Amino acid sequence: MSTEAAGRADFSFVRYAQVWEDADVLMAALEPGPGDVCLSISSAGDNALSLVSAGAERVIAVDLNPAQLACLELRVAAFQHLEYEDLLALIGSRPGSSPQRLYQQIRQNVSPECRAFWDARMDALPHGIGHGGKFESYFRIFREKILPLVHSRKTVLSLLEPRNPADRLEFYNTRWNTLRWRGMFHAFFSRTVMGLLGRDPAFFKYVEGSVAARILDRTRHALSILDPSENPYLQWILTGRHDTALPHFLRRENFQRIRDNLSCLEWHQAPVEDFLEGERRVRFSRYNLSDIFEYMSEENTGLLLQKIASASRPGARLAYWNMLAPRSAPESLGLVSLTERATALHAQDKAFFYSRFVLEEVP
């Protein structure tokens, strides 16, 4: 069973130059550690590297898109051969050495295929590789062209200042949540505009109702209930860098852990379905499934989850996100839904686009 999304969307370029799923939520849900064999959707590689930091026995990253695996491979070379501050500069998280110069330092440490990919895309490097995806370009348009029509730079930076919960809510209600903000949001984050500039239109096949209205509700939560000063995803959207907060894999305390354990990491270009078919002797204990079921029918979701359950050790955990299409394991599979834990983690989720976080366990 080849994955459904492969037949409907173009996977020949970098869609996501960063992973827009909160690794803190993922790590708290999966609790990976020594002895675990983890299967992770690669995307740009950020959350696969977070799993590496936990000292897992094996972390296997898979992706349909060779461009996404080129993002992961370049990150691996950066962890192996750059110092911490230069890693942040290569990503574009913090100012520092030229990302193009840093790439030249490590380009001989990647495969010929990865090197050819990045050599042909030097124009994506001046501000850091974290800016180089279609989704990040969508946010750049929002940050540079759209948001200034609604809020001044001063107001944006003020939003990101530390506040207590009561003051955060007051700031949101009195200074941020204006009629112009809501009108702009409904237009720019509509199904049509997001499909054109951000995600592939095919990814909305199973979505019903207003896309913008549902994302706006989660955005309110991120801007007023959670702390924007501790949110790296929000900070990148609004400023184009990580000012006061970093995603899990880029935090200083995780740098050496990842560097020391990179031998456990491997990556493969394949749909999850095909990879599992070819690796029947491997038994997995932890799964980072990103939001892959967003792009599948309920029937195909059930078929893939059945394959995953068959490839799992007892007690294996599956973590994934629903953005707009509700997906979870059918009761017939017998997976245990850890709903209370998932709901609590979703309330803390700093990557705020998702309507639901799902955590399931193999009995």
**DSSP letters spanning 295-338:** GS-HHHHHHHHHHHHHTEEEEEEEEEEESSS-----GGG-PEE-
Give the amino acid at 341: R
pLDDT score for 235 = 97
pLDDT tens string 62-84: 999 999 999 999 999 999 999 99
pLDDT tens string 276-328: 999 989 999 999 999 999 889 999 999 999 999 999 999 999 999 998 789 99
pLDDT score for 212 = 81
Residue 51 · residue 32 · CB < 8 Å: yes
pLDDT tens string 183-220: 999 899 886 777 666 555 555 454 555 678 888 999 99
For residues 280 and 278, give the distance between their C-alpha atoms in angstroms, rounded to a whole number: 6
